[in-house]
Amino acid sequence: MEGVAWAAHKYIMHGWGWGWHRSHHEPHEDVFERNDLYAVVFALLAIGLIIYGSNGFGPLYWVGVGMTVYGFLYFFVHDGLTHQRWPFRYVPRNGYLKRLVQAHRLHHAVDGKEGCVSFGFLYAQPVQKLRDQLRETHGGSLKNLDTRS
């Protein structure tokens, strides 16, 4: 699922679907953002696959279940941990969760949809590698390369 999510994020959300995803890259005070429509669409797709798979097309059932599990993980890691969209805060001080948060901050260090790094949600390359990619692409002119928590 991570590979599909990576491709959807890079080529749909940062491509022809930028109209919805842009709201995720811009500051706002609202509880919801237009980007949340992607969660609704993917949830409906997963429900459809589970229903279709339950009626004799077994593998599609498991694809739908996989999408659902991934969606919950996405909600907890991305919305909760990374963007602090919960009523409580947890900031990881070390380990892989800290790396996920830092990688996503680097993803948001670029204005606009072009030239971003780290399109995955549950896998993140080493932070220094992502910083180097951004510096190479943008010549060091980024709004937020400081990923310290």
Query: What is d(CA 56, CA 118) in angstroms, rounded to the nearest whole number?
Result: 38
Which pLDDT score, from 0 to 100, does residue 149 have? Answer: 42
145 falls within a domain: no
Q: How many residues does the chain have?
A: 149
10 falls within a domain: yes
In tens, the pLDDT along 100-111 reads 999 999 999 988
Q: With CA atoms as reference, report the closest residue to 63 among 47, 74, 75, 78.
A: 47
Which domain covers residue 112, as residue numbers? Answer: 2-138
98 falls within a domain: yes
In tens, the pLDDT along 37-72 reads 999 999 999 999 999 999 988 999 999 999 999 999
Query: What is d(CA 58, CA 120) in angstroms, rounded to the nearest whole number?
Result: 28
Look up the pTM and report it: 0.85
64 falls within a domain: yes
146 falls within a domain: no
115 falls within a domain: yes
148 falls within a domain: no
Q: Which two tokens stand for residue 115?
A: 């030239």
Q: Where are the alpha helices (DSSP H) in the chain?
A: 2-7, 18-21, 37-54, 58-74, 95-107, 127-138
Count the domains in the chain.
Answer: 1
149 falls within a domain: no
In tens, the pLDDT along 79-118 reads 888 888 888 888 899 999 999 999 999 999 988 899 999 9
Q: Above pLDDT 70, what percent of the chain? A: 93
